Structure 1
Amino acid sequence: MKQSSSVADLTDELRKEVNRYSPGGKLPSSRALVERFRVSPVTVSRALAQLAAEGLVVTRPGAGAYRARPRTPLAATGDTSWQEVALSADGAADLVPRTVDASGVTVCLAAPPPGVIEFSGGYPHPSLQPEKAMAAALSRAGRRPGAWGRPPLDGLPELREWFARGIGDTVTAADVLITSGGQSALTTALRALAPPGAPVLVESPTYPGMLAIARAAGLRPVPVPVDRDGVRPDLLADAFRATGARVFVCQPLFQNPTGAVLAADRRPEVLRIAREAGAFVVEDDFVRRLPHEDSGPLPRPLAAEDPDGVVVHVCSLTKATSPSFRVGALAARGPVLERLRAIQIVDTFFVPRPLQEAALELVGSPAWPRHQRTLSTELRARRDAMTAGLALRLPELALPHIPSGGYHLWLRLPDGLDEPALQSAALRAGVAFTPGRPYFSAEPTAAHIRLSFAAVSGTEEIAEGLRRLRAACDEALGGPVPQFVRHTPAVL
């Protein structure tokens, strides 16, 4: 973290000085910058690389760095309005028009403006990521024999075996494909299991990224309600009968956004209902590695209780590591595995071998169990801080379920408090959250918001974020307008 800060500081200093040089003028040598700013040669190299990426300087190996010359203005752009007709005509014959809408996902991926507290994040804060362990793993992986060669198309056998052990005794390495994270695996699964125009049953509410995948593939998401014990089997059976669907996508463990865990008595019912309908269950086991310290023993994945190949299992290392550590797995049995494999090969060829090797190094190191224990403890502390703060500052926001895993809370807004109005007021107050509407494939039952407690720096920032959210609620309900200076730090 200190090194990253040094790079940013030096970059800022050099950015201010670049204009002192004429276009094409040579900047001081790296050695001179090291001596002047008392930083390492690596820090200088990274700062110059950042300025080069911004187009401010040009680096020439063996010669040094020079101020970039002004770019030649681009010619006037042509008329692209014809594309509206072409793109519309492309899906004119589709039974269900494809809709490529990333807005529900972008809100969890995009960084908020400076100074805005991030209750909207979908990944752990950098302080919760095993940065040193990942860096060491990547360094060791890069030195492995053959690390930069072509990997097996299904993934490294040792990594497939590791994922198989985590799913259950009934799953072997031969049942596993290594994927580029969970989102890629879900995309492959839906493309393999449902033709364009087909219905696909989804939990309601559910993960917006999965809804975006389905709609982009021309599928028709059909909602099946979820309560605090997971999906309701009676309504699932009704939905299969009414639609003739052959796919049901669910998150049985710490469901996004409700945090629900599929109850023990419902688990065999879900498998039985899907089997009788001749349908697949896509199990998105996305946060199995994010239990809280008080979670107790976790239920096994549905795939571990499925002898008939009903379940296509999706899991990933990404949530427990870093947004950029995109290594996941698909597990399935029977002929469907070959279809999944073929689609993945056509789409991506394979997951880069250095990343697979780094994953093996990471999960096999002593740092991995230590990181998991630390993450479990910290997530519980943050969850408790947020739930206590909500009870104190925002008691009108209903919290029907406190999860024992995952990274967020799902809250129902009181009548009269509008999601868009609250979201706008919150940004003005300096806090970002995820609105509930994108989590519903049809009309929502009520107004909701999702608050992430993992993407912030700690409990102090949670307390400040809730204070700002209180001010935003007051404004949205007609109270005083909260004041927020965008350049203030996130934790006051």
Structure 2
Amino acid sequence: MSDSSSTAALVTILREELARLVPGDRLPSSRELITRHGVSPVTVSRAIAQLAAEGAVVTRPGSGTYVAPRRSRPGADAPDTSWQAVALPGRDAALDLGEPPARPLPEGIVDLAGGYLHPDLQPARLLGAALARAARRPDAWDRAPAAGLSPLRAVFARQAGASVEPDDVLVTGGGQGALSMLFRALTTPGSPVLFESPTYPGALAAARAAGLRPVPVPMDGDGLRPELLADAFAMTGARVLYCQPTFHNPTGVVLAPERRRQIVDVARAAGAFLIEDDFARHLGHGFGPVPRPLVADDRDGTVVHVTSLTKPASPSLRIGAVIARGPVTRRLRGMRRVDDFFVSRPLQEAALELLSGPGWDRHVRALTTTLRDRAAVLTDALARDCADWLVEQQVSGGLHLWLRLPDRLDPTATVDAARERGVAIDPGHRYFPAEPDGPYVRVGFAAAASAEELREGAKRLGEVGGLS
């Protein structure tokens, strides 16, 4: 049989197999197809190429071949949604978080890009038990108060500091939803908002989706620079600053003690709100006490505090809190009634069960040790295999390392090449409100399956660096 007829026969067989699969399913590997159908590697390659050209499959180098999304057949009955291009306002780019790796990643990919704990590090047993106990409560499915369950608000208040009262707390559906609400509540569309540079891409997206204009304020190894912050307020007239004073994402920096008071004072002098994103409070590595939240020492309502349980527990525990004082509190509660009335009561009850039991403290202590060890493993492996990739900050908490690449490496090309070799990392440009001032990538040590995977990931990155 000629190569062309062998290819046509294999294409026919694969089309029949594709009809039984669903979009996203993985086809057998080339080696399996060669063995199963008794054809040559060239025949398999040509058959896959033909199906890809037809749009029936999608090939991902280093990962495999997958069933492509189904396409509507052209014809009179086909839906036509082209009118929406005219009807929708042109702000889709504001909602773009970049191109983080899909979840879950294909088998064999070492995940150094994930922003959550690997399932083995999550307190699954505690979460299951907490949810089961919560579901058995007689009022578990009743409507929850708009501000959140009083006992849960008391827990968040206690964690924030002695000056915070439960009435200052609004329970939210995670940290991202809280940021979206705050950017809409604290200023008006078209206004400037100050951001540390670099910063969390989700916060940038939330601000842009609210019609706001992010303005970068540079950082150094001690965090946000107060003198530049004062200049930025004066030059822009901004009335909101977003910052992450503790275990900053992506750099891991902790705002220096002498600066913590200074930036609050600068914001107050400007008549501005300071949004304190405290997502990483439970992600310290045990090198010393975690600094008090800025809100703990602020009684004038300058600081609006955001916290969440998703990072130290599970991405599906969508429970967080906003702590605010003054008229803004009434505005936020009013927005809650407009947006979604209240956060799911069973989830709030489960969070309360989780935080109130002794198992939570044991989990946080164990997580502290694990994250410290993983950070050390990845740092050492990168020093060995990627010697000229500079770790900008020796982290004392959080989930990531911030790396400056040598000038010979383009960050986007490096990320793509890493993916082809089976390791996922994040491109640094996503973390800058304006143009980045250097070639950066973010690598994480919490989403990989093990320390061995971290070492393997660093080894593969070393192979990428050696290709330039």
Q: Into which bin does the TM-score normalised by the smaller protein fall?
A: 0.7 to 0.9
CA contact (8 A) 1:148 1:353 kept: yes
Encode CA deviations 1:194-233: one digit per residue, 9 max, x unaligned.
1000000001000000000011111000000111111000
Corresponding residue number in structure 2 for 1:393: 385
- Give the aligned residue type for 1:306: D
Q: Return the offset for 1:365.
A: 1.5
Q: Return the offset for 1:409.
A: 0.2
Q: Distance in 1 between matches of 2:206 and 2:93?
A: 9
Q: Return the offset for 1:323.
A: 0.5
- Give the aligned residue type for 1:274: A
- Give the aligned residue type for 1:425: A
Secondary structure of residue in 2 paired with 1:265: helix
Corresponding residue number in structure 2 for 1:84: 85
Secondary structure of residue in 2 paired with 1:346: helix
Counterpart of 1:326 (choices 299, 318, 322) is: 318
Counterpart of 1:170 (choices 153, 163, 173) is: 163
Counterpart of 1:157 (choices 145, 150, 154) is: 150
Superposed counterparts of 1:81-480, under 5 Å: 81-87=82-88, 90=89, 99-104=93-98, 107=100, 110-293=103-286, 295-475=287-467, 477=468
TM-score by length of 1: 0.79
Q: Distance in 2 between matches of 1:108 and 1:197?
A: 31
Secondary structure of residue in 2 paired with 1:451: strand
Aligned residue pairs: how many?
A: 398
Q: Distance in 1 between matches of 2:326 and 2:192?
A: 23
Runs of 5+ unmatched residues, structure 1: 1-15, 20-71, 92-96, 478-492
Encode CA deviations 1:225-272: one digit per residue, 9 max, x unaligned.
111111000110000000000000000000011101111111111011
- Give the aligned residue type for 1:78: P
CA contact (8 A) 1:150 1:353 kept: yes
CA contact (8 A) 1:315 1:330 kept: yes
Encode CA deviations 1:335-373: one digit per residue, 9 max, x unaligned.
011111111221121110000000111111121111111
Q: Distance in 1 between matches of 2:101 and 2:132?
A: 30
CA contact (8 A) 2:426 2:443 kept: yes
CA contact (8 A) 1:156 1:356 kept: yes
Q: Return the offset for 1:82.
A: 2.2
Q: Return the offset for 1:312.
A: 0.4
CA contact (8 A) 1:228 1:258 kept: no
CA contact (8 A) 1:99 1:218 kept: no
- Give the aligned residue type for 1:336: V
Q: Return the offset for 1:101.
A: 2.9
CA contact (8 A) 2:97 2:202 kept: no
Q: Distance in 2 between matches of 1:361 and 1:228?
A: 38
Encode CA deviations 1:114-157: one digit per residue, 9 max, x unaligned.
21110000000001000001000000000012001101111000
Q: Distance in 1 between matches of 2:150 and 2:96?
A: 34
> What RMSD, in angstroms, separates the aligned Cα atoms of the two structures?
1.7
Encode CA deviations 1:35-57: one digit per residue, 9 max, x unaligned.
xxxxxxxxxxxxxxxxxxxxxxx
Q: Distance in 2 between matches of 1:367 and 1:183?
A: 26
Runs of 5+ unmatched residues, structure 2: 1-16, 21-71
Q: Return the offset for 1:73.
A: 9.1
Q: Distance in 1 between matches of 2:220 and 2:101?
A: 23
Q: Distance in 1 between matches of 2:323 and 2:277?
A: 11
Q: Distance in 1 between matches of 2:138 and 2:456?
A: 49
- Give the aligned residue type for 1:412: R
Corresponding residue number in structure 2 for 1:31: none
4+ long deviations beyond 6 Å: 72-75
CA contact (8 A) 2:134 2:353 kept: yes
- Give the aligned residue type for 1:262: L
TM-score by length of 2: 0.83
CA contact (8 A) 1:180 1:328 kept: yes
